[in-house]
Structure 1
Amino acid sequence: MLLPNTMSPLSPQLLVAAAQQTLGMGKRKGLPRATCLHLAGEVLAVVQGSKPAILYDGHSAGVLVLQSYLEKLQEMGFLASGLHFLDIGENSLIVDPKQAYQHLEQVLRGTIAFVDVSSSQPHPSICSLDQLQNVKALVTELISHLQRLQRTPSLGASHSRLHSSQWNLCTVFGILLGYPVSYTFHMNHADDNCLALTPLRVFTARMSWLQGQPSILLYSFSVPECLFPALRDILNAWEKDLRTRFRTQNDFADLRISSEIITLPAVAL
């Protein structure tokens, strides 16, 4: 049973069927029910503006299959507008071009922080966007790409690809997924970083959507605990903005933001 809302009156069974009939084709056991419902919730979160994009993990499904899934949700009345598949490297992101564009413009105004975790330095350090001219150029290129998409809007699910051979994808995804803090590092040290055995404060944001189902994981990111005091204002502003946007919708309930400190022998980015 759905929590009270105005956007998604469909039953969970229909949402599961939509994913299994499109994304689950050819899979011996089909997609698990929980996976189908969580993906639908994530997609709705993008439409509602709770996050600018999601990273779709099942890229092997292919673009046409992904488009078929989103268009199926539109036909069912679950989504009011078309979304966009943005391929970067071997990864697909589902984005709302208009909202992602607005988010990236805010990034250029300094709303997120960048932490250099290159293995060549002993400890993580905060750097400004102006210090990272390559990242600034990358954000500007993404903005230009999204501007072009908005000039030719599509009623259905559209698709485009960006070449990324010289891009730091860890930084790109941190930006596009709406994290208030994004990691960056020197590309010649991409296989290593200085986060091993460094206490990290891991933030998670969850919200309820379907009764009797696990909550939707909206955000999960970390910051070095040693930098937490210096990043507190950025993190507080992100939380305030998220709660403000959350109050403007009726599809989800019970937003919970929490953090815990962990230390790992190695950290993959």
Structure 2
Amino acid sequence: MRSRWEAWPKRNSWTPSCVRMEEPGSRGARIPGSAPSLPLLVAAARRSLCSGRRRGRGSPRATCLHLAGEVLAVALGLKPALLYDCGRAGADQLRSYLEALQGVGLFTQRLHVLELGEHCLVLSPERVGQHLERVQGDGVALVDVSDEQPNPTLCALHQWPDLGALVAEVGLHLRGLQGKARLAVSSSRLQPPDWTLCALFGILLGYPAPYTFRPGRTEAKCLALTPLRVFTALLSWRPAGLQLQLYSFSVPECLLPALSGALDAWESDLRARWRAQSDFADLSISSEVVTLPTVVL
């Protein structure tokens, strides 16, 4: 049977440290499908994530609301994590921001700020823990783009023992956080080897086929001028009048038939989670084919 994805139109070791927890204050309940005062969401971002002369002004209103919407999507389990890339805020500032969002009633679920090297992710410990258990149990399709090979190839997690051990350690670390039942916002820091970050980010962000490569490389030469199918998942956050990009990832077009099962499972899980909530509407998933002269991971 031909997968419907084929019919889409063309368009080493780490050391945990600095684990910090915060007790929740009183949280106002929010009616699903509604939103707190939008000015409060904007103020929370500008107050917590900006510094110096920019405090109080900071990021544009739309950027602040998009970030709040992405955090809500993580809290509701629509995706395991988000990679914060809106500014230079560190883990402490992000934790304060999440506490401010909880304080105005945007969400009540527990969230965690995971600092990986110089990057920060906002994630649900329970959701990511379950996701990593599935990754370890059922395996995950990895796309090897090491530049010593002419074309991208599929591989399995067990073929990358160092990466597999890191995934297991991250899962154990996050399961340990779940025992802190009363803690609403937490943060911790890990320092994995740099070469693992690309694959680790892809796994934590819930991509169905993350890229990986051998140590010491960041430029995927075998993806240059290779047709890539880019998948984008969008949804509407109607109370804020915004359309949010929930996912954006690519897979090599030549591997699409082999990845159709993983892509079908990813879409089925996303649609089921979307139907189970009422804050976001109008989920749409589209794809287009792009070809780039250089791809840096």
TM-score class normalised by the smaller sequence: over 0.9
In structure 1, the residue matched to 2:15 is none
Match of 2:46 among 15, 20, 24: 20
CA gap 1:59/1:146 in 2 versus in 1, 3 angstroms? farther
Deviates more, 1:130-139 or 1:259-268: 130-139
Query: Deviation at 1:82?
Result: 3.0
- TM-score normalised by the chain length of structure 1: 0.93
| Structure 2 counterparts to residues 212-231 of structure 1, below 5 A | 213-231=241-259
Which residue, 175, 180, 204 being the options, matches 2:208?
180
**Which is worse superposed, 34-43 or 23-32?**
23-32
Specify which of 205, 210, 218 is matched with residue 238 of structure 2.
210
Structure 1 residues not aligned, in runs of 5+: none
Structure 2 residue aligned with 1:157: 185
Which range moved further: 191-200 or 258-267? Answer: 191-200
C-alpha distance in structure 2 between counterparts of 1:213 and 1:61, whole Å: 26
Question: Which stretch shifts more, 45-54 or 147-156?
Answer: 147-156
The alpha carbon displacement at 1:154 in A equals 4.9
Q: Residue 264 of structure 2 aligns with which residue? A: 236
SS at match of 1:181: coil
For 1:254 and 1:74, the matched residues in 2 are separated by: 25
Stretch of structure 1 that moved more, 112-121 or 26-35: 26-35
Letter in 1 for 2:44: A
Deviation at 1:62, TM superposition (A): 2.5
Shift of the 155–38 alpha-carbon distance from structure 1 to 2, 3 Å rule, reads: same
Q: Measure, in 1, the Cα distance between the counterparts of 2:269 and 2:149.
A: 33
Could you tell me how far 1:211 is from its partner in structure 2?
A: 5.6
Contact 1:59-1:91 at 8 Å conserved across structures: no
2:144 to 116, 124, 129: 116
Aligned residue for 2:222, secondary structure, equals: coil
Cα RMSD between the aligned structures?
1.9
Q: Is structure 2 residue 70 aligned with structure 1 residue 48? A: no
Offset of residue 25 of structure 1: 3.6
Residue among 47, 58, 64 paired with 1:30: 58
**More deviation, 74-83/235-244:** 74-83
Deviations 1:6-42 (A, max 9, x none): 1643122221121112213435351111110110000
- Supply the distance in 2 between the matched residues of 1:228 and 1:79 (Cα, whole angstroms): 37
Q: Does residue 1:6 correspond to 2:32, yes or no?
A: yes
Give the alignment of 1:71-86 within 5 angstroms: 71-86=99-114
Note closer, same or farther for the CA distance 1:227–1:5 as it changes in structure 2 (3 Å cut).
Answer: farther
Q: Provide the rounded CA distance (Å) in 2 between the counterparts of 1:100 and 1:54.
A: 11
Question: CA shift at 1:68, angstroms?
Answer: 1.3
Aligned match of 1:64 in 67, 70, 92? 92
**Which residue of the other structure, out of 172, 189, 197, is the alignment partner of 1:144?**
172
Would you say the 8 A contact 1:111–1:180 is kept in 2? no
Give the drift of 1:130. 1.9
SS in 1 for 2:74: helix
AA in 1 matched with 2:237: W
CA distance in 1, matches of 2:92, 2:33: 25
Quick one: distance in 1 between partners of 2:73 and 2:240? 19
Alpha-carbon shift at residue 215 of structure 1 (Å)? 0.9
- Alpha-carbon deviations, 1:191-215, whole Å to 9, x = none? 4431000000000001000367441
* Structure 1 range deviating more: 53-62 or 71-80: 53-62
Equivalents in 1 of 2:118, 2:238: separation in Å?
Answer: 31
How many angstroms does 1:181 deviate by? 0.7
In the alignment, the residues of structure 1 paired with residue 244 and residue 35 of structure 2 have an alpha-carbon distance, to the nearest angstrom, of 17
Letter in 2 for 1:10: P
Aligned: 1:91 with 2:122? no
Unaligned runs of 5+ in 2: 1-29
Q: Summarize the Cα distance change of 1:71–1:248 in structure 2 as closer, same or farther, 3 Å threshold.
A: same
Secondary structure at the aligned position of 1:164 is classed as coil
Q: Taking CA–CA contacts closer than 8 Å with sequence separation of 6 or more, which of the two structures ends up with the larger relative contact order?
A: 2
Counterpart CA distance in 2 for 1:26 and 1:268 is: 33
Structure 1 runs, 4 residues or longer, greater than 4 Å off:
none
SS of the residue corresponding to residue 223 of structure 2 reads coil
